[in-house]
Amino acid sequence: MDLTTVEQSWLAGNEGPALRRAMEIVVALGTIYGAERLVPVESVQISGVSYRNIGDAGLDFLRRWAGEGARVRVPTTLNPTAMDMADWDMQGFDAVFADRQREVVDAFVRMGVEGGKPDPTCTPYLIGNRPGPGAHIAWAESSAVTFANSVLGARTNREGGPGAIASALTGRTGAYGLHLDEHRQATLRVEVLGQPATISDFSALGALVGLRAHNAVPYFVGLDLEATDPVCEEKLKALGAAMAATGAVALYHVPGITPEAPASSAPPVELPILTVEEFATGYAALSDDIARIDLVWIGCPHASLAEIRDVAEQLRGEQLAIPLWVTCARPVRELAARQGLLDVITGAGGRVFADACMAIAPVRELGFGAVATSSAKGAYYLRNLARVAASFAPLTECVQAAVTGTMPGSLS
Ligand code: F3S
């Protein structure tokens, strides 16, 4: 691999062990994937922040790296943690877990992440980390990767946890995969016959496409986003998150949205075709057969202000039978509070938590064995990672489930 003089010096350890270790990781990953050089990145987004997922071994690894003097070189944001860093006790976490989770975040603070004041979120593009078309970045959260590549036109592979940290410390990643033009071409034509309408409908569509597309680059034909005036970024975020969860889609093309797929461009005609006639089956594909629900979770990926407003409108005048939790970035929560939306949600008995993701939390230990969510990705990871029963349903049904404690349409 061709390295610049500066990169060779870092790799030789001339700037200390932390940077040497980071360079070793970046170079090793680049070599594995056939990169001929490294490319500077404008921003990094780090995953693997939940203490529940990384445990004591991961915490020790981070502590050691921070202790060696590791410092980020480019703007870097953090994926969600397991808990709200301020209101963890309201979620039912014990003090021991909370201490460990705080230590994980502290290690990143010592590395200088977000100027030492991180706002952990899987939607960094909603709080200012919003790269432009053609920008090389190194992001790890799969839903954010898909959004950055497909909607913003930035260029990132789906980085792993240590790889993203190494990119943050070096400001580099290998020039391979989606950093290169040739890997950004569409490879699968997806013809959508039934029009999804709501954000969760887009999530259901994405779940079906991801299950069949695997790691292809889908080109959507017939997806009428103009009909959802104004073009709704939340729908694109839901679509991409679901495809990245049930498949490994990191880039998709929607004409008129994706910078590489201008509205005027003719759809590729020689690609394999996937026809989706009935996106609604995506709901059933990710749902367990459950009637009684312990928790309703909205905000996967983290909710935007508009999504929180939607929840608040649906909760106005209601009283919940079971907990309903919305997760979002802290700055978004603060905006929602200023607009009175939190008062509406808490008045009904719901909560809005910042920083947190329920899929990487010890959900069962918190007392929840069955969770309803309006997110395909949320349901997928609740079942496969948190190992609890899940029901994936439109937002209106999730709200009804929170009011009654029972999934609408169930017989119990
Ligand atoms: Fe974000 Fe967690 Fe969903 S990281 S995309 S809220 S699974």
What is the separation of C-alpha 313 from the centre of its chain, rounded to a whole number of angstroms? 25
* Distance set, CA 310 to CA 174, 234, 235, 339 (Å): 41, 12, 14, 13
Looking at the fold, whether 74 and 173 belong to one and the same domain comes out as yes
Domain-located, residue 239: yes
- % of the chain residues with pLDDT over 70: 98
Sign of CA dihedral 389, 394, 397, 399: positive
Q: Which residue among 157, 181, 205 closes a domain?
A: 181
What is the Å distance from ligand 1's center to 246 Cα? 13
Q: Which residue among 137, 165, 181 closes a domain?
A: 181
Domain-located, residue 409: no
Count structural domains, the chain.
3
Q: Tokens representing 13?
A: 């350890």
Q: Tokens representing 271?
A: 């690609």
Looking at the fold, whether 121 and 241 belong to one and the same domain comes out as no
Looking at the fold, whether 99 and 137 belong to one and the same domain comes out as yes
Q: Which residue among 232, 262, 282 closes a domain?
A: 282
pLDDT value, residue 410 = 66
Within 6 A (CB) of ligand 1 lie 79-80, 122, 141, 143, 241, 300-302, 327, 357, 359, 377-378, 381
Q: Which of 385, 387, 372, 364 is nearest to 92 (CA)?
A: 364
In whole angstroms, what is the distance from residue 123 CA to residue 190 CA?
A: 26
CATH number at residue 177: 3.30.499
Domain-located, residue 412: no
What is the Å distance from ligand 1's center to 359 Cα? 7
pTM of the model: 0.96
pLDDT in tens, 55-77: 999 999 999 999 999 999 999 99
pLDDT value, residue 226 = 61
Looking at the fold, whether 200 and 252 belong to one and the same domain comes out as yes
Domain-located, residue 252: yes
Residue nearest to atom 5 of ligand 1 (CA): 301
Ligand 1 nearest-atom number relative to CA 47? 4
Residue nearest to atom 3 of ligand 1 (CA): 300
In whole angstroms, what is the distance from residue 401 CA to residue 412 CA?
A: 12
pLDDT value, residue 270 = 85
- Mention every residue, 6+ apart, whose C-beta is less than 8 A from residue 379: 286, 287, 373, 390, 391, 392
> Could you tell me the residue range of the domain that residue 124 belongs to?
5-181
Ligand 1 nearest-atom number relative to CA 79? 4
Residue nearest to atom 4 of ligand 1 (CA): 122
CATH number at residue 377: 3.30.499.10
